[in-house]
């Protein structure tokens, strides 16, 4: 397997994502998998909010006071979240599009001054559109992972997570297979897309590397033409091993 970075100069908001990738002159091959930073996709789609235009609700003010957060950030988090699970000073722990994330995944790093970057409006649609353009314009089938970096419970530092996928099955069912000692696996699933996202995030870095895209070549994945969604990658909070014992939501 090869992991190949694409270094791309800083872009302004609202650019043609496919053209930017194609103009990189990288020699893409059939079955390459592109791991693309969700921030880069959001920047191309203009999925940003100008903080000076945010109108603050009473609930946002209360959360901001309780958790020592900028009131404007608290308001955007409320707008972007399905649930507020809990919080600590500086952060709200939320569920956004089925995923648990600090502050609903919004971010001020690597964004223009005074603005914050949201997730792409529909990461799976964005991934499908890119796959189609590669096929239509370059004649090759590829896979796409739109990635974000994420903290894991009890661990220091960021790893990767997939927020949009196209072209291959994001999760592989390992149940029924046998381990090294012949015991049958009963509950194991392989988070293929998240594993690839982590490879990409490791190479991309977290600061000023200017590597928003990583090409993974030779990955053993299960190809699919299905229209994927977050439902293919998530479980309900009530059965999640981390969340199901929490006493309440949306306090």
Nearest to 151 by CA among 118, 84, 105: 105
104 CB-near residues (< 8 Å, 6+ apart): 76, 77, 80, 81, 92, 94, 96, 119
Q: If you count them, how many residues does the chain have? A: 251
Nearest to 101 by CA among 158, 177, 183: 158
Q: How far out from the chain centre does Cα 190 lie? A: 17
Q: How confident is the model at residue 242 (pLDDT cuts 50, 70, 90)?
A: confident
What are the beta bridge partners of residue 143? 33
pLDDT digits (tens, 9 = 90+) for 110-151: 778 888 999 999 999 999 999 999 999 999 999 999 999 988
- Position 250 pLDDT exceeds 50: yes
Nearest to 172 by CA among 229, 218, 114, 233: 233
Q: How confident is the model at residue 249 (pLDDT cuts 50, 70, 90)?
A: low
* DSSP letters for 158-177: EEEEEEEEESB-SSEE-TT-
Domains for the chain: give ranges and CATH numbers: 1-46+120-234 (3.30.1330.100), 48-118 (3.90.1660.10)
Query: Backbone phi, then psi, for 86, in 5-degree steps?
Result: -165, -170
Nearest to 197 by CA among 249, 245, 145: 145
**Mean pLDDT (whole number) for 194-202:** 97
Q: Which helix (H) or strand (E) holds 200?
A: helix 192-204
Nearest to 29 by CA among 137, 165, 140, 166: 140
**Sign of the CA dihedral running 80, 52, 17, 26:** negative
Query: Which of residues 86 and 164 earns the better pLDDT score?
Result: 164
Tokens of 135: 């096929």
Predicted confidence at residue 251, as pLDDT, reads 45
Predicted confidence at residue 142, as pLDDT, reads 98
pLDDT digits (tens, 9 = 90+) for 60-76: 999 999 999 999 999 99
* DSSP letters for 84-136: EEEEETTEEEEEETTEEEEGGG-B-TTS-TTEEEPPPTTHHHHHHHHHHHIII
Q: How confident is the model at residue 248 (pLDDT cuts 50, 70, 90)?
A: low
pLDDT digits (tens, 9 = 90+) for 19-41: 999 999 899 999 999 999 999 99
Q: What is the mean pLDDT of the chain?
A: 92
128 CB-near residues (< 8 Å, 6+ apart): 144, 166, 227
pLDDT digits (tens, 9 = 90+) for 86-114: 889 999 999 988 888 889 988 777 778 88
Predicted confidence at residue 151, as pLDDT, reads 85
**Mean pLDDT (whole number) for 214-234:** 96
Predicted confidence at residue 20, as pLDDT, reads 96
Give the number of other Cβ atoms within 10 Å of residue 194's Cβ.
20
């Amino acid at each position: 397997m090869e992991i190949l970075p694409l270094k791309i100069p800083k872009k302004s908001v609202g650019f043609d994502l496919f053209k930017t990738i194609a103009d990189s002159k990288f020699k893409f091959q059939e079955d390459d998998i592109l791991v693309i930073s969700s921030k880069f996709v959001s920047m191309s789609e203009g999925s940003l909010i100008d903080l000076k235009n945010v109108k603050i609700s009473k609930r946002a003010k209360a959360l901001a006071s309780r958790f020592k957060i900028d009131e404007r950030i608290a308001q955007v988090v409320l707008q972007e979240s399905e649930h507020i699970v809990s919080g600590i000073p500086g952060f709200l722990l939320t569920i956004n599009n089925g995923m648990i994330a600090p502050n609903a995944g919004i971010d001020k790093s690597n964004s223009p001054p005074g603005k914050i970057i949201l997730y792409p409006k529909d990461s799976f649609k964005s991934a499908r559109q890119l796959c189609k353009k590669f096929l239509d314009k370059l004649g090759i089938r590829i896979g796409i992972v739109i990635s974000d970096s994420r903290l894991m419970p009890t661990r220091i530092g960021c790893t990767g997570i997939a927020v949009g996928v196209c072209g291959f099955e994001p999760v592989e069912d390992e149940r029924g297979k046998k381990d090294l000692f012949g015991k049958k696996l009963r509950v194991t699933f392989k988070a293929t897309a998240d594993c690839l996202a982590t490879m990409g995030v490791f190479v991309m870095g977290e600061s000023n590397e200017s590597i928003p895209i990583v090409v993974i070549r030779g990955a053993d994945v299960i190809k699919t033409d299905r229209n994927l969604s977050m439902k293919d990658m998530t479980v309900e909070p009530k059965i999640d091993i981390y969340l199901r014992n929490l006493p309440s939501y949306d306090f």
